[in-house]
Amino acid sequence: MFAPLLAPADPYDLALINIMNSELPPVGMSGADPAFPLGTDAQGRDLLSTILYGARVSLMIGFGAVVLQAFLGILFGLLAGYLGGKVDAVLMRIADVQLSFSTLMVAIIVGAVIPGPGHAGNPAVPRVADQIRL
């Protein structure tokens, strides 16, 4: 969120990229430039700025997942506790089924079913099935 304020440069601004600054080492090594504390990549972009801007996306995804899980957990917990009886029993059986699956297996299934970049509207499962038939 604060990357534009903390980062020394905007890694997405093409006017700031200079190929002559490519692959500079971090400060403390010979040939380092103090303008690039962590050095530069092969295209001359500042690595510190790139890390700060990239961390924004990772942190938003992480915090978003935690907020969604907390919301759903509180909602279903309140429903089970307040309504009780059959609703509680059904929600507990759903929780038991969900907990019986391994996290890795769920990740593989989700990765296979949800289309990847460039394949919108074309899930991976039919593509895999087509390859097996060949």
Q: DSSP labels for 10-75?
A: -TT-GGG--GGGTTPPPTTSTT--TT-TT-B-TTS-BHHHHHHHHHHHHHHHHHHHHHHHHHHHHH
Which token pair is 4?
């534009």
pTM of the model: 0.57
Q: Which amino acid is at 96?
A: D
Contacts of 125 (CB under 8 A, 6+ apart): 112, 113
Spatial separation of the C-alpha atoms in residues 4 and 26, rounded to whole Å: 21
DSSP code for 134: -
Spatial separation of the C-alpha atoms in residues 14 and 21, rounded to whole Å: 13
Extents of the domains making up the chain: 3-84
Q: What is the pLDDT along the chain (134 residues), one digit of tens a residue?
A: 777 788 788 888 888 788 888 888 888 888 888 888 888 888 888 888 888 888 888 899 999 999 999 999 999 999 999 998 999 999 999 989 988 888 888 888 877 777 666 555 555 555 555 555 54
